[in-house]
Amino acid sequence: MSLPPLVEPAAELTVDEIRRYSRHLIIPDVGVEGQKRLKNARVLCVGAGGLGSPALMYLAAAGVGTLGIIDFDTVDESNLQRQIIHGVSDVGRSKAESAAASIREINPLVKVEIHNTALDRDNVREIFSQYDLIVDGTDNFATRYMVNDAAVLLGKPYVWGSIYRFDGQASVFWAEHGPCYRCLYPEPPPPGMVPSCAEGGVLGVLCASIGSIQVNEAIKLLAGIGEPLVGGLMVYDALEMSYRKIKVRKDPDCVLCGENPTVTDLLEDYEDFCGAVSVEAQEAVVDSTITALELKEWQDAGKDIFLVDVREPAEYEIVRIPGATLIPKGEIISGEALSRLPQDRQIVLHCKSGVRSAEALAALKAAGFRDAVHVQGGVLSWIKQIDPALPAY
């Protein structure tokens, strides 16, 4: 459906702006009026990573007058495969600062506002209220639900995107005119069911495909042209090179934007709502957790342990803890791998950060392996505390 422009036009375009945006100005649907609206717009990008990189670059090139960036992370070498707004010289630098510098190179006419902080319940309302439109480039469910809830409560539209391996999705959520994220996903998936990009990987160029769709939708909303993806979900399969548009209806029973909402304020704890680990895993790790330092001590002392890496084969190929045997978490939870586990040795599980190993530990405890333990912090803790020379990923 067509929607009215989100922002009023600026008073005028300068000579420099007319030259710079000439290819926009000659498009009848955009023209001078549309470009003035872009100039007058304030857009916040949540995250300067995989999706935030192309989104920020093209929003800047398009002439969005004010761009906000919120990101508390620093640039890591593993980011450079897909986060193209950063370069080698930016490794170790604040992502928000690095992205801002790249934007100034692309378009010095754009004003950049940096929020070098983590988005949380205490600051999300204040930050979002400064902008006309939110572009969501987050990669975890807790932040996605918080972004959605804050946008709905403030009456803000936002453009959402999601990427994983070769698949991507994008939509526009605006409760005033259509569904919100909770209408599409009322509940987060069970912990560990949907791996993050850090766990499952992502094709670098997929970020550009979905990020550019997000910018396209942002421009349409700001200028009031075309038919935005309100009420539509675009699904992209890079391997098959296929796009599917799925209709998404507003849920009258939505707890946030439905006819009788029960969620009328931000949740106290979005991490708890999304569940870092299941209740079973939380119970399983009690008195069954060791540190990376303890694991190293056990190995050096010659303790008879069976060390199990529950990550995926591709992760195991990148970096591994010496002596570990690869048995992916799915094979443990399904019971397929139980016969391969020794009954007479201490089983020690680990993953990348400790979440998947906790879930696998719960499955082992339920299967009778009462003495099994897992390594808190997983490979990341091993690298930090034991062997910093190993490659991070």
Q: What is the mean pLDDT of residues 30-46?
A: 98
CA distances from 340 to 328, 364, 368 (A): 12, 12, 14
Tell me if 6 is assigned to some domain: no
* 193 pLDDT above the threshold of 70: no
For residues 215 and 346, membership in a common domain is answered with no
Predicted confidence at residue 278, as pLDDT, reads 74
Domain boundary among 274, 301, 317: 274
What backbone phi and psi angles, to 5 degrees, belong to 154? -95, -5
DSSP E strand boundaries for the chain: 42-46, 66-70, 111-115, 133-136, 158-164, 167-173, 232-237, 242-247, 289-290, 305-309, 325-326, 346-350, 373-375
d(CA 238, CA 168): 8
Distance separating the N- and C-terminal Cα atoms of the chain? 42
Q: Which of 180, 183, 197, 257 is catalytic?
A: 197
* 358 pLDDT above the threshold of 70: yes
Domain boundary among 256, 274, 292: 274
For residues 225 and 288, membership in a common domain is answered with no
Predicted confidence at residue 191, as pLDDT, reads 63
Tell me if 393 is assigned to some domain: no
Predicted confidence at residue 279, as pLDDT, reads 78
> What confidence tier does 280 reach under pLDDT thresholds 50, 70, 90?
confident
Residues in the chain, total: 393
Tell me if 392 is assigned to some domain: no
Domain boundary among 274, 300, 334: 274
d(CA 1, CA 227): 5
For residues 216 and 141, membership in a common domain is answered with yes
351 is catalytic: yes
Answer whether 275's CB lies under 8 Å from 190's CB: yes
For residues 268 and 381, membership in a common domain is answered with no
Tell me if 117 is assigned to some domain: yes
Q: Which of 180, 207, 257, 351 is catalytic?
A: 351
Task: Name the helix (H) or strand (E) containing 25.
Answer: helix 22-25
180 is catalytic: no
Please state, as a whole number, how many other Cβ atoms lie within 10 Å of the Cβ of residue 368.
Answer: 9
**CA 387 to chain CA centroid, nearest Å:** 28
Answer whether 136's CB lies under 8 Å from 144's CB: yes
How high is the mean pLDDT of the chain?
94
d(CA 48, CA 314): 26
Predicted confidence at residue 391, as pLDDT, reads 84
Q: What is the mean pLDDT of residues 174-185?
A: 97
* 76-114 pLDDT per residue, tens: 999 999 999 999 999 999 999 999 999 999 999 999 999
For residues 43 and 186, membership in a common domain is answered with yes
Count: domains in the chain = 2
Q: What percent of the chain has pLDDT over 90?
A: 88
Higher-pLDDT residue of 1 and 2 is: 2
Higher-pLDDT residue of 328 and 314 is: 328
Predicted confidence at residue 201, as pLDDT, reads 85
Domain hosting 286: range is 279-386
> What confidence tier does 2 reach under pLDDT thresholds 50, 70, 90?
confident
Predicted confidence at residue 184, as pLDDT, reads 96
